[in-house]
Copies of this chain bind each other. A is one copy, B any other.
Amino acid sequence: MGKLFSFAVSIVFMSIETDNNTEQKILEAAEEVFQEKGFDGARMQEIADKANINKGLLHYYFKTKDSLFEAIFSIAFHTMIGQIQSIMSLEISLNERIDRIVDDFMSMLAKNPALPRFVITELNKNPDRFIAKHVNHNTRATFAAFINSVQKEIDAGNIRPVDPRQLFMNMISMIIFPFIGRPMVQVVIGLNNKEFLQLMQERREHIKLFLKQAIKP
């Protein structure tokens, strides 16, 4: 955890400083290559090339491919989980929560469309290892708060009775899946890249309305 912390600090530091030092160049290159190719498909040579350094120097900064991957995956995983948790834990109504989670999540994914596929693929290849390492004690407490807030709305008659866990799955499924399944979606619907992006833009308001409509009393 100390390692992660110092790493996060260095990231913040770097984004403040305009100086683009070697470590930062490596991390940017590694993020790109790992997210695109996955751990198994990524090559240290390609990362070195993209960072404009040689393999020797790459191994000087990160002794092994595993340790470099860990640094990249850790940030990606916490970006995903953090996005979910931050919205879950707010003290707002379900309608506001829907608006926030759709807007925030889709803005983040528009900037980093490869993120969910990367996290989910690597998580599937080795669930135990990463979950034990990265999931903290707050994860469950945060979701419990979400369940309570949904139950309150049901009791108040604001929405129809619905399993909060299913509702949660519906929300993140509709938000995340089109990014992960983009090539398949484009093929089946028959969309070029421009049309797909247009549809994703319209999708924000569509999902908000669709969800609210589905849980109306």
Pair B143/A188 contact, Cβ less than 8 Å: yes
In the complex, the chain B residue whose C-beta lies closest to that of A88 is B188
Known: A181-B176, A206-B166. Contact between A37 and B190, CB under 8 A? Answer: no
**What is the CA–CA distance of A112 and B50 in the complex, to the nearest angstrom?**
38
Distance in Å from the Cβ of A174 to the closest Cβ of chain B?
A: 5
Interface pick from A9-17, A56-64, A97-105, A120-128: A120-128
Number of interface residues of A (CB under 8 A): 59
Give how many copies assemble into the complex: 2
Kindly state whether residue A41 has any CB partner on chain B within 8 Å. yes
Pair A172/B181 contact, Cβ less than 8 Å: yes
Kindly state whether residue A158 has any CB partner on chain B within 8 Å. no
Known: A40-B37, A173-B174, A177-B172. Contact between A199 and B166, CB under 8 A? Answer: yes
Pair A169/B187 contact, Cβ less than 8 Å: no
Pair B40/A143 contact, Cβ less than 8 Å: no
Distance in Å from the Cβ of A209 to the closest Cβ of chain B?
A: 9
Pair A80/B174 contact, Cβ less than 8 Å: no
Q: Which of A124, A127, A215 lies at the interface centre, i.e. has the most chain B CB atoms within 10 A of its CB?
A: A124
| Interface bits A181-194 vs B (CB < 8 Å: 1, else 0) | 11111011111000
Kindly state whether residue A84 has any CB partner on chain B within 8 Å. yes
**What is the CA–CA distance of A207 and B207 in the complex, to the nearest angstrom?**
15
Kindly state whether residue A139 has any CB partner on chain B within 8 Å. yes
Pair A189/B143 contact, Cβ less than 8 Å: yes
Pair A81/B188 contact, Cβ less than 8 Å: yes
Distance in Å from the Cβ of A101 to the closest Cβ of chain B?
A: 12
Cβ contacts A to B, 27 pairs, < 8 Å: A36-B125, A37-B40, A38-B38, A38-B41, A40-B40, A40-B41, A80-B184, A81-B184, A116-B181, A120-B183, A123-B183, A135-B187, A139-B188, A140-B190, A160-B213, A163-B199, A163-B206, A166-B206, A169-B203, A173-B174, A173-B176, A176-B177, A176-B181, A177-B177, A177-B180, A213-B214, A213-B216
